[in-house]
Every structure is written in structure tokens, then in C-alpha cells.
Structure 1
Amino acid sequence: MKILSKLTIITLLFITGCSTTPNTYKTISAKDAQAKMTTSEDVVLLDVRTPAEYEEKHIQGSILIPDYDIETEIETQIPNKDTTIIVYCRSGNRSRNVANKLITMGYNDVYDLGGINNYPYTENIVTN
């Protein structure tokens, strides 16, 4: 009986200890993103819109890698996969897709800010 109990406990520990949940991106509010960007130098704000959209307006300090170039450009621009990345686009669709893609590519700390259209800190928006 003792052997069976020990085997059961070991099996349960093995199953729960070895199970991993897949890494997923997190959504982040504008307020929390702003706080994270002002308190840490290790945060990259990633704009995934087109160059024309970026030129029209973007959040100050962001870098541009269009969603269609993520797979070929991200590792050049952000080689450290533990970098905190906050992704945004125009309305939130592209940022969500890119955040998922970044997780799939092995990036560990990815946040989806959504769209610049809903970003309330207009003093941080650069326009041309």
C-alpha cells in the first residue's frame, strides 16, 4: 500500500511539475504602458503599421517594424528575446497578430497596447 501511495504521489508531482502552459502575450492599458515605459529602459515600444502611417503620426520613442516584416526584421532590431516589447498599431488588429507571432518566435515578455487611435497621451504622439 505504501508503495502504491508513493508511486501515486511521484506520478502526480511529475505530471504537475512537468506540465507547462504556453507563453502568451498580455494586453496592457495605455496607463500601465506609460508607467512601464517611464520606469524602465528595457522596454521597446513597437509600431507595426506601415511606414506611411508611422510618418503621419507615432508614439514618441517607438520603433517601426511593419507587421509584414516582423519575421525578417525583429531579430535584427530586438535580438534579446527577454526584452519587454509593447506592440501597437492603428486599431488593435495588427498588434494582436504580431504579439501572437512574437510569442511563437520565442519572445517572452510581449504586451499588446492596441491602437494608437485610442492612445490618450496625445502629448507623446509625434505628428508630421
Structure 2
Amino acid sequence: MRQILLFAALAAVLALLLVSCGGTKDKPVPTEEDAPGKAAYHKISAEEAYEMMISQEIVVVDVRTREEYDGGHIENAVLVPNESIGSEMPETLPDKEATLLIYCRSGRRSKDAAQKLLALGYQSVYDFGGVIDWPYELVKEG
């Protein structure tokens, strides 16, 4: 009898914990960034970026320096150095509705640039990190 009472008490405590913690099947509470029509920062893998490049109309944006770009970049990438992104829309990115795939050398500048572009009103911005993690071909200038 004592074991049954102990088991019932443990089951009640477990049930209470699951209810109070929301369980594991509850959906996350939507935030302001999840609201429809509001642009949000998206971090994706190099593989996901590559799939988007071959299956959709996108703009690949290299936010490194000219020298780094000339040393090897993703084919058809537009050079928009992170340091050049300020309070004005970059001339080389005229469409704020275009899907932008952002990369740099290691991932730090791409995150910074993606957030600055979102602040300028771009709606579909994906950061896929650094070219050092890019397993596909690069093109070199010259």
C-alpha cells in the first residue's frame, strides 16, 4: 500500500511539473519578430544557402573587403563591404524585397551586416556565415 501511495505522489509531482513547464509539445510563444510581414535575422548553413542558390532567385552578398573578394568569392556574389553599410541603402542592393544571402570570411561580419541590412528595411536576409566553411567552388578575379 505504501508503494502505491509513493508512486501516486511521484506521478502527481511529475504531472504538475509537466503542466507548469509547458511540457515538450507546446509551441514557443510568438515574439514580435515572428509577426507576419516583419523581417527577422535568419542563420543558415552553407548547404542550405547552396540549395537556395540553385533553386531560387537570390542575391549573394559578400561583405568582406575588395582584396578578400578578389582572392576568391562565390560565383556571382555582389561585393558590399560590411564597413560600407551605414544609414543609406547600398546602391548595389536596390531591391529591399530580394532574398539576400550574406557571407564573410568567418561569420562575424556577415551577422553584423545582415542585422544592419534588416535595420535598413531589407525583408529577406539570410546569414550563412564564413567562406572558410564553404565546401563548394570559389572564383578568383584576374
Task: Specify the TM-score bucket, using the shorter chain as the normaliser.
Answer: 0.7 to 0.9
Structure 2: runs of 5+ lacking an equivalent: 1-30
Q: Structure 1 residues 36 and 68, CA, compared in 2 at 3 Å: closer, same or farther?
A: same
1:127 aligns with 2:110: no
- Rg larger in 1 or in 2? 2
1:36 corresponds to? 52
Letter in 2 for 1:96: K
Structure 1: runs of 5+ lacking an equivalent: 1-18
Q: Structure 1 residues 126 and 72, CA, compared in 2 at 3 Å: closer, same or farther?
A: farther
Give the distance between the partners of 1:74 and 1:34, measured in 2 at CA. Answer: 26
1:11 corresponds to? none
Letter in 2 for 1:126: V
Contact 1:23 1:108 in 2 (8 A): yes
Q: How far 1:79 moved relative to its partner?
A: 1.5
Give the distance between the partners of 2:129 and 2:55, measured in 1 at CA. Answer: 21
Contact 1:28 1:112 in 2 (8 A): yes
1:89 corresponds to? 104
- Kindly indicate which of the two structures has a greater share of residues assigned to helix: 1
Contact 1:65 1:73 in 2 (8 A): no
Q: How far 1:71 moved relative to its partner?
A: 2.7
Identity score, percent? 40
1:59 aligns with 2:74: yes
1:110 aligns with 2:129: no
SS in structure 2 of the partner of residue 112 of structure 1: strand
Letter in 2 for 1:38: I
1:101 aligns with 2:116: yes
Q: How far 1:90 moved relative to its partner?
A: 0.3
| Number of residue equivalences | 107
1:70 aligns with 2:62: no
Q: TM-score normalised to the size of structure 1? A: 0.76
Letter in 1 for 2:64: R
Q: TM-score normalised to the size of structure 2? A: 0.69
SS in structure 2 of the partner of residue 103 of structure 1: helix
Give the distance between the partners of 2:70 and 2:47, measured in 1 at CA. Answer: 24
CA RMSD across the alignment: 1.8
1:24 corresponds to? 40
